[in-house]
Structure 1
Amino acid sequence: MNLLFNGKTCYLRTLTVDDAEEMVQLLVRNRDYWAIYEPRHQDSYFTALVQREKIRESIYQARENREYSFGIFEHESNKMIGHISMYSIKRLPFLSALVGYSIDEGYIGKGIATEAVRLVNTFGFEQLRLHRIEAYVSPKNMGSIRVLQKTGFLNEGLLREFLYINGVWEDHYQFALLESEF
């Protein structure tokens, strides 16, 4: 299932095993930057072998309608500059999913994450027929909080000691966007 969503500054495309090398380059470029808000990974994570396997798993999950993983690509260069996923998709009685995303440090502050989240929200509400999309974000991650606010998400509260990141239990906000607010 190949999905493509075009925006003004970027486009989203479902990942294929051919994207593994470029994904590794993106991960290596942002290894330290992303580790501020995400758990650190073992060295093997930063290999094409592991990334190909992760992409194969995401293709299987998409076929099962459980998760959709996209590369975020710059229009001009077709370079992968981030990734975004809609995951933990639940059917009735929930009709909900989580969204998570990461943007290359060299491209932050350009509205790309905001556009990518809008594109994936459109997919979630219009094609997957979801009722609710949620996102978790560190209270320290002001850039990501602004992205969620600009795309209509509301802060529903603080989840105390929610994620174990780099040896510390970190609080996270829970944001959500309802179909009626989209």
Structure 2
Amino acid sequence: MNLRFEGRACYIRNLTVDDAEEMVHLLLRNREYWSIYEPRHPDSYFTPMVQREKIRESVYQARENREYSFGVFEPGTDRMIGHISLYSIKRLPFLSALVGYSIDKASTGKGIATEAVKLVLTFGFEQLRLHRIEAYVSPRNAGSIRVLEKSGMQQEGLLREFLYINGEWEDHYQYALLEREF
């Protein structure tokens, strides 16, 4: 299944095993930058072999309608500048999912993350017919909070000591958007 959604600042498409090398380059470029808000990974994570396996798993998850992983690309190029996923997809009685994303440090502040989130929200609500899409964000991550709010998501609360990141339990805000609000 080939999924591709076009925006003005970026386009997103589902990942294939051919994207593993480009994914490794993206991960290595942002290893320190992303580790501020995400758990650190072992060195083996930053290899084509591991990334190919992760992509294979995401292809399987998409076939099972449980998760969709996309690369975020510069318009008119094959240059990957981020990744975004719609994951933990639940069917009735929930009809919900989570969205998570990371954008290359060199591409932040250009509306790319906001557009990628809006493209995934459109896919989730219009094609997957979800009722609710959620996101979690560190209170320290002002840029990501702006992305979620510009995408129409609303803060619903604070999840205390929610994620264990780099040796610390960290609080996270919970954001959500309902189908009728979309």
- Aligned residue number for residue 96 of structure 1: 96
Report what 1:166 is aligned to: 166
Q: How does 1:32-71 map to 2 (within 5 A)?
A: 32-71=32-71
Task: Return the offset for 1:76.
Answer: 3.7
Per-residue deviation, 1:102: 0.2
SS class of match (2:8): coil
2:113 alignment partner in structure 1:
113
Aligned length: 182
**Partner amino acid, structure 2, of 1:180:** R
Sequence identity percentage: 80
Q: For residue 132 of structure 2, what is the aligned residue in structure 1?
A: 132
CA displacement 1:40-87 (0-9 Å, x = unmatched): 000000000000000000000000000000000001432000000000
Match of 1:78 in 2: 78
- Quote the Cα distance in structure 2 between the aligned partners of 1:158 and 1:117: 21
How far apart are 1:4 and its partner, in Å?
A: 0.3
Can you list the C-alpha shifts for 1:92-128, whole angstroms capped at 9, x where unaligned?
0000000000000000000000000000000000000
Please identify runs of 4+ aligned residues in structure 1 that moved more than 6 A.
Answer: none
In the alignment, the residues of structure 2 paired with residue 18 and residue 59 of structure 1 have an alpha-carbon distance, to the nearest angstrom, of 12
Cα separation, 2, equivalents of 1:21 and 1:69: 16
Counterpart-to-counterpart distance in 2, 1:25 and 1:148: 26
* Alignment partners' CA distance in 2, 1:18 and 1:77: 15
Deviation by residue 1:121-176 (Cα, 9 ceiling, x = unmatched): 00000000000000000000000000000011000000000000000000000000
Question: What is residue 2 of structure 2 aligned with on the other side?
Answer: 2
Paired amino acid for 1:5 = F
Superposition CA RMSD, Å: 0.5
**2 CA distance for matches of 1:146 and 1:82?**
17
Match of 2:157 in 1: 157
